[in-house]
Amino acid sequence: MDRLFLRKTSLVDYPSKVAAVLFFAGCNLRCPWCQNRELVLPDLLVGRTDLLSIDEVECYLVKRRSVLGGVVLSGGEPTLRADLGRIVKRLKALGFPVKLDTNGMNPGLLEGLFSQEETRPDYIALDLKLPPKRYGELSVRGLSEGSVDTQGEAGEALKESAALIRSSGIAHEFRSLALPEAYLKPEEICAMAAMVDDAPWYFRVFRAGNCLNPLWNTLEAPDPKAAAALARKACEADKRGIGA
Ligand code: SF4
């Protein structure tokens, strides 16, 4: 699916900037709490008339250049697009700072993007969903019958992406979801802390509603105060060098 959703204006997706957001269809993970069902399962987009080509998006961006301070590439998972570098290059050539939101499953593509000035994003947000050793539970490969991610490839890809981002010199942030404690234990959040550096690490609280796995719609959201305490604990663990 080469076509894109466009959110014309956002005040919250790019720090300190008014930005347009491009949503890429398709994802190589299947987080059960995901609220982007249509982006993750592109067959659901068949027949939609509000999708745009990159040329159409570019026309819009040029017209709105005076009010937009940047462009966010989000998803789904943007790094599934083999031509992502070309898209970043086009947007930067138009004068837009580019932010990339990624799940970190494609470190090879990230390395390629980072290697040239014209394809380097100006800001990156990396999602940390679970400790690396549990990523097999989320990967498409891990979920396919007879194709279990026994080698922990998804977790290794995440660690590699986190390391690349930390050493890239590109402004970045980490993002996590505070999940019900029965699913993600406080000590596991401490294990995730090993992948962050001094950049901001933001926690949002899980909410039921339109989860990819309908069973998750029956789960209660964690108490926001408890989630904030977890985030603090994770950051303290990070400073003490705890984690796997
Ligand atoms: S990485 Fe997970 S939450 Fe993000 S779009 Fe894919 S399935 Fe949804």
Q: Could you tell me how far CA 162 lies from the centroid of its own chain?
A: 12
| Distance (Å) from CA 5 to ligand 1 centroid | 16
Residue 180, phi then psi, degrees to nearest 5 = -55, 140
Beta bridge partners of 4: 24, 52
> pLDDT tens digits, residue range 9-55?
999 999 999 999 999 999 999 999 999 988 998 788 888 888 999 99
pLDDT value of position 244: 37
- The CATH number corresponding to 4-239 among 3.40.50.720, 3.20.20.70, 3.40.50.10860, 3.40.50.970 equals 3.20.20.70
C-alpha distances in Å from residue 66, one per residue of 53, 78, 213: 22, 26, 41
Beta bridge partners of 184: none
Contact yes or no for 19/77 (Cβ under 8 A): no
Instruction: Name the closest-CA residue to atom 3, ligand 1.
Output: 34
Rounded to 5°, the CA angle 183-194-32 comes to 25
CA atoms of 189 and 54, how far apart (whole Å): 38
Indicate which atom in ligand 1 lies nearest the CA of residue 76.
5
| Distance (Å) from CA 135 to ligand 1 centroid | 12
Do the strands 4-10 and 70-75 form a parallel or antiparallel pair, or are they unpaired? unpaired
* Domain-wise residue ranges, the chain: 4-239
The sign of the torsion formed by the CA atoms of 152, 176, 30, 52 equals: negative
Indicate which atom in ligand 1 lies nearest the CA of residue 27.
6
Cβ–ligand 1 contact at 179 (below 6 Å): no
Indicate which atom in ligand 1 lies nearest the CA of residue 75.
5
pLDDT value of position 144: 54
> pLDDT tens digits, residue range 141-157?
655 555 556 668 899 99
Closest CA to 137 of 188, 65, 76: 188
> pLDDT tens digits, residue range 187-221?
888 889 899 999 999 888 888 988 999 999 999 88
Instruction: Name the closest-CA residue to atom 5, ligand 1.
Output: 76
